[in-house]
A and B are shown apart, each in its own frame.
Chain A
Amino acid sequence: MSELFGGQHVGPFTFYYSWIGTFLFVVVSIVVAKIYGKHHNLKDVEKFADLILMSVMIWIIIWKGSGMLPVAKDLFVAPVKVLFAAPASGADKAAVIAVILYTVLTVKRVKPVLAEWLDLCAVSITAGLIPFFLLHLELGQQIGWPWGILITGRRYTPVNFYEVFILLCSLVMSLYGAKAIHGLRGSYLLALVGVGSLFVSLFSESLTLWILLSPTQWGLLATGGFGLWGMKRFTTLT
């Protein structure tokens, strides 16, 4: 599985497996959102799918464009320099902020039934993250177990495969275990993913700590907490 570290060459271009995983994330998320929306007669499913597509486009444009913009004047003089320009430092963070802003504005404009979009979002994104993590090698702490990924003579925890297992279990548990009440399934899934992925994070490596936890752990804690808060509302409403 250490081959996942690399990618495929097509002519002068190199496609990293992690990029293929990201592409599959988008495709699977949209397909699952449409199937789930149709099956449960949800409104605004197309607008939700458009939101995912547009978010990806915005992310790519800002991420890649950040490196091309400073040398844009060379487009006709040295096109290779412009086309192959590496993204600017911090471009990914700027792209994420732009996507968040776009999402907030879209939600304000479309005014969807939030409980429906919560289910759609949780189910489709979780489903999309399964192929994403399958192709996105993430190594954790060194281990001696035979399932560790062997790289440069040492075995490392295959954190991404642990993540796939957790996501798959959470998705199945929420689809077959939670009542089909708008908002409940999404909340339950977020709680499961938050708890499960936070557990997986114990096997990963992170030097950056923000007040005792890593940034990822804070994010997962917030996800789990949000899911549990959502579930609380349904304990009395059902």
Chain B
Amino acid sequence: MRYTTVGGIDLELARTRKILLVMLMLIVVTAIVINQHPKTLAQLPEAGYRAPNFILHTLSGHPIELSQLKGKPVLINFFASWCPPCQAEAPDLVQMYDRYHTQVVFLGVDMTESDSRSAVQAFMKKVGIHYPIVLDSLGKVAKQYDVISIPMSFFVNAQGVIVARVAGAMNRNSLASELSHLLSSQNLNAPGQ
């Protein structure tokens, strides 16, 4: 900016300001127009995006596909039986399952790549888990969901959109608040689906 002062007014500064003001107004108008268009949500493991689809098998070999659960809110919990925070979280998850299983589908994804079937079975028995557990034997789904620390949970609404991604062990309070947030977001529209 050069500074040419006429009658106490800095002309260059005033001109720069005017240009920025016009640009700001043009961008706001463009943003309003763009925001009115329906958006096609991408499949990404982040809140606000569609949950990436996957097919995994339960311990008994029964296949579960995420897209088939569309229409119901889903809680996906990535865990491993050897992981201490997962062990700490599991009893609270079971308790919440007992309370919410009619409204929310609970799905445990075991990181079987670093775990074993027998250890998972023993863990389920010990904690009393009776919601479905699927085995991510090759670690593909964990990679798809960018799970680099466990436990990690994804709250997916009935439209298949991730409402929250929570890293770390949740307790009864945080689970209850996330689940009620998930249920209240059921009416959220996911354009472009």
CB distance from B34 to the nearest CB of A (A): 6
Cross-chain contact of A205 among B23, B48, B88 (Cβ < 8 A): B48
Q: Are A235 and B17 in contact (CB under 8 A)?
A: yes
Give the distance in Å from the alpha carbon of A184 to the alpha carbon of B16 in the complex. Answer: 13
Q: What's the A-B contact tally at a CB cutoff of 8 Å?
A: 156
Q: Are A236 and B17 in contact (CB under 8 A)?
A: no
Does B55 count as interface, using CB distance less than 8 angstroms? no
Determine the residue in chain B with the shortest Cβ distance to A217.
Answer: B31
Q: Are B181 and A89 in contact (CB under 8 A)?
A: yes
> How many residues in B have their beta carbons less than 8 Å from beta carbons of A?
60
The interface stretch among B102-110, B116-124, B163-171 is B163-171
Which A residues are in CB contact (< 8 Å) with B87? Answer: 80
Which B residues are in CB contact (< 8 Å) with A201? Answer: 31
- Chain A proximity mask over B34-64: 1 for CB below 8 Å, otherwise 0: 1110011111101011001000000000000
> How many residues in A have their beta carbons less than 8 Å from beta carbons of B?
58
Determine the residue in chain B with the shortest Cβ distance to A68.
Answer: B171
CB distance from A14 to the nearest CB of B (A): 4
Give the distance in Å from the alpha carbon of A160 to the alpha carbon of B58 in the complex. Answer: 39
Does B187 count as interface, using CB distance less than 8 angstroms? no
- Chain B proximity mask over A195-226: 1 for CB below 8 Å, otherwise 0: 10011011001110100111001000100110
Does B138 count as interface, using CB distance less than 8 angstroms? no
CB distance from A183 to the nearest CB of B (A): 12
Which A residues are in CB contact (< 8 Å) with B68? Answer: none
Does A238 count as interface, using CB distance less than 8 angstroms? yes
Does B188 count as interface, using CB distance less than 8 angstroms? yes
- In residues 1-44 of chain B, which contact A (Cβ within 8 Å)? 1, 3, 5, 8-10, 13-14, 16-17, 20-21, 23-24, 27-28, 30-32, 34-36, 39-44
CB distance from A153 to the nearest CB of B (A): 9
Give the distance in Å from the alpha carbon of A139 to the alpha carbon of B146 in the complex. Answer: 14
Does A41 count as interface, using CB distance less than 8 angstroms? no
Give the distance in Å from the alpha carbon of A177 to the alpha carbon of B89 in the complex. Answer: 55
Give the distance in Å from the alpha carbon of A184 to the alpha carbon of B178 in the complex. Answer: 45
Q: Are B17 and A231 in contact (CB under 8 A)?
A: yes
Q: Are A88 and B174 in contact (CB under 8 A)?
A: yes
- Chain B proximity mask over A160-198: 1 for CB below 8 Å, otherwise 0: 000000000000000001110000100010011011001
Which A residues are in CB contact (< 8 Å) with B23? Answer: 195, 199
Determine the residue in chain A with the shortest Cβ distance to B49.
Answer: A205
Q: Are A212 and B146 in contact (CB under 8 A)?
A: no
Given known A-B contacts A156-B42, A228-B17, A89 and B174 have beta carbons under 8 A apart: yes
Give the distance in Å from the alpha carbon of A235 to the alpha carbon of B13 in the complex. Answer: 6
Contacts A5-B146, A87-B174, A202-B27 aside, 11 further interface pairs with beta carbons under 8 A come to A85-B169, A89-B174, A89-B177, A191-B24, A198-B28, A199-B27, A201-B31, A207-B39, A213-B28, A213-B32, A231-B13
Ranked nearest first, the 3 interchain pairs of A and B with the lowest CB-CB distance are A86-B168, A14-B149, A81-B88
Q: What residues make up the interface of B, taking CB atoms closer than 8 Å to A? A: 1, 3, 5, 8-10, 13-14, 16-17, 20-21, 23-24, 27-28, 30-32, 34-36, 39-44, 46, 48-49, 52, 84-85, 87-89, 144, 146, 148-149, 153, 161, 164, 166-174, 177-178, 181, 188-191
Q: What residues make up the interface of A, taking CB atoms closer than 8 Å to B? A: 5-7, 9, 14, 16, 67, 70-71, 78, 80-81, 84-90, 139, 141-142, 151-152, 154, 156, 177-179, 184, 188, 191-192, 194-195, 198-199, 201-202, 205-207, 209, 212-214, 217, 221, 224-225, 227-228, 231-232, 234-236, 238
